[in-house]
């Protein structure tokens, strides 16, 4: 015997939201065919062409971040230089040649301001340009040290962070050249410099040791900061490469599944045709009672749906995107998906709540299949009923599939959609794999969460720019 949940009437178009409980019913006349999805292109790694300079950044894909960080550090360096010019004569009673030191400071400040303006319009930084930036810093500090005691000035240790930054951001030839220049500057300042007049030799030794401690602390801080940034950038790059490899392997597996599905569609045609004939003859048998005849009619309809699905698979083979597809309102698209799914599984009640307004979408058939797979998983977990909700938020379409089943174990959530999980004894577990592949091709994502009171909430996020006509 069948116990089917009957459909309620459609709400009027004036209502702000569309709320339905679907049951077994006929297909809507003039149903629209799946249309194209303007998917976002996947990230590309390893393209041919000149590679950008390795840099230290929040993302390894932004080649100007190294220059911007160097400009920021130079402002701090100029602040320290100006503080030295002003504070040393006043606090330590050590006279400094203010005029040449201020000239050096002004030249570096003007150069840094020009570099900042130029960096705003740069999309790529080559190694030679970053080398010249560091070389100018080296020359500026060498000139500053020339007028403040040369190699006897404890601030000379500040040349070392420049070498460390070069080693972290430059290619090997430029890094070695910068190191040679730093050693040459140190050696030159050993012989050529302007000595400072310090009247108390004991106090001079004390302040020299204090200056050595300060420059050591500053050098250690700058070096650690850059190395930590470099390590973080390398980790991000490795993670991006690992995700790209994982996505490629997952796409290869989906393509292989598609090839197998095409072969299976061809092989299933004959047995489905035989089953359709037998179901039709059974439904026309006058000796059957009404309930059995209704079951036979339902069986015939399900077989017809299977043949329709296989026919659509054959038509779409090799063409996931149907260019020039017809736009359809978001609510109508989701209701059509719900209607189609309910005809396939009429024994599972499906409650639909749509509050998407009327944005026109051009959606790919694979996205419809992704939502079908999520609803199927929820129905398998909770045959008593499934809920489908949809709304618009932050220029994205949010589709939620909710059930009151046992829930997805927390340990399996990170793996969901990455491999064919088998959380059901009778299932193959490839539905989520296909759903994730379809959604990620359009720049979307699927997340799972536990519901208060038990069950699972699957949230599918689709960016509207990828769905607009």
- Of 235-239, 242-246, 423-427, the range with the lowest mean pLDDT is 423-427
Q: pTM for this one?
A: 0.47
CA 10 to chain centroid, in Å, comes to 39
Tell me if 458 sits within 8 A of 400, measured CB to CB: yes
φ, ψ dihedrals at 197, nearest 5° = -90, 110
Place of tokens 């962070």: 161
Mapping DSSP onto H, E and C, the string for 219-250 reads HHHHHHHHHHHHHHHHHHHHHHHHHHHHHHHH
Q: How confident is the model at residue 42 (pLDDT cuts 50, 70, 90)?
A: very low
Q: Which two tokens stand for residue 319?
A: 């063409």
- How many Å apart are CA 102 and CA 130, to the nearest integer? 25
Strands 386-393, 350-355: pairing is: parallel
Which range of 120-134, 311-325, 370-384 scores highest in mean pLDDT? It is 370-384
Strands (E), 379-444: 386-393, 396-402
Average pLDDT over residues 323-332: 71
Q: Which two tokens stand for residue 163?
A: 């070498």
DSSP 138-191: HHHHHHHHHTTTGGGSGGGGGHHHHHHHHHHHS-HHHHHHHHHHHHHHHHHHHH
Q: How confident is the model at residue 433 (pLDDT cuts 50, 70, 90)?
A: confident
Q: Quote the pLDDT of residue 54.
A: 38
Q: Is the Cα torsion angle 243, 244, 249, 254 positive or negative in sign? A: positive
Walk me through the domains of the chain, giving residue ranges and CATH numbers: 7-39+326-469 (3.30.565.10), 65-244 (no CATH)
* Residue among 411, 120, 391, 428 at smallest CA distance from 261: 428
Tell me if 168 sits within 8 A of 226, measured CB to CB: yes
Q: How confident is the model at residue 128 (pLDDT cuts 50, 70, 90)?
A: confident
φ, ψ dihedrals at 195, nearest 5° = -75, 145
Q: What is the pLDDT of residues 143-190, one digit of tens each?
A: 999 999 888 888 888 898 899 888 888 889 999 999 999 999 999 999
């Amino acid at each position: 015997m069948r116990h089917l949940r009957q459909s309620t009437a459609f709400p009027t178009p004036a209502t702000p939201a569309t709320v339905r409980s679907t049951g077994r019913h006929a297909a809507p006349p003039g149903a629209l065919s799946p249309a194209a999805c303007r998917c976002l292109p996947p990230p590309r790694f390893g393209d041919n062409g000149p590679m950008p300079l390795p840099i230290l950044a929040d993302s390894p894909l932004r080649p100007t971040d190294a220059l911007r960080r160097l400009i920021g550090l130079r402002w701090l360096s100029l602040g320290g230089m100006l503080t030295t010019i002003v504070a040393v004569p006043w606090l330590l009673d050590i006279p400094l040649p203010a005029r040449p030191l201020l000239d050096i400071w002004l030249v570096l400040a003007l150069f840094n301001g020009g570099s900042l303006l130029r960096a705003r319009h740069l999309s790529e930084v080559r190694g030679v340009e970053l080398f010249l930036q560091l070389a100018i810093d080296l020359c500026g500090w060498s000139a500053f040290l020339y007028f403040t005691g040369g190699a006897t000035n404890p601030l000379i240790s500040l040349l070392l962070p420049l070498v460390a930054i070069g080693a972290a951001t430059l290619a090997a030839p430029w890094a070695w050249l910068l190191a040679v220049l730093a050693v040459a500057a140190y050696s030159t300042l050993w012989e050529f410099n302007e000595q400072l007049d310090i009247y108390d030799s004991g106090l001079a030794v004390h302040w020299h040791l204090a200056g050595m401690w300060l420059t050591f602390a500053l050098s250690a801080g700058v070096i650690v900061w850059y190395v930590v940034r470099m390590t973080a950038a390398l980790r991000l790059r490795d993670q991006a490469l690992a995700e790209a490899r994982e996505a490629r392997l997952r796409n290869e597996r989906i393509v292989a599944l598609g090839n197998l599905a095409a072969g299976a569609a061809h092989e299933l045609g004959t047995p489905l045709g035989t089953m359709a004939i037998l179901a039709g003859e059974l439904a026309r048998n006058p000796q059957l009672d009404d309930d059995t005849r209704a079951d036979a009619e339902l069986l015939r309809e399900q077989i017809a749906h299977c043949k329709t699905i296989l026919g659509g698979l054959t038509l779409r083979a090799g063409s996931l995107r149907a260019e020039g597809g017809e736009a359809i309102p978001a609510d109508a698209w989701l209701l059509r998906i719900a209607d189609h799914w309910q005809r396939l599984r009429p024994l599972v009640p499906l409650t639909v709540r749509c509050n998407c307004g009327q944005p026109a979408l051009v959606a790919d058939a694979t996205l419809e299949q992704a939502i079908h797979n999520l609803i199927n998983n929820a129905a398998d977990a909770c045959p008593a009923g499934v809920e489908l909700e949809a709304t618009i938020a932050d220029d994205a379409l949010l589709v939620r599939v909710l059930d009151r089943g046992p829930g997805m174990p927390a340990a399996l959530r990170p793996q969901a959609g990455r491999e064919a999980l088998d959380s059901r004894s009778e299932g193959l577990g490839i539905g989520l794999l296909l759903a994730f592949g379809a959604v990620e091709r359009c720049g979307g994502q699927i997340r799972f969460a536990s519901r208060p009171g038990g069950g699972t909430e699957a949230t599918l996020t689709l960016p509207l720019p990828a769905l607009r006509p």
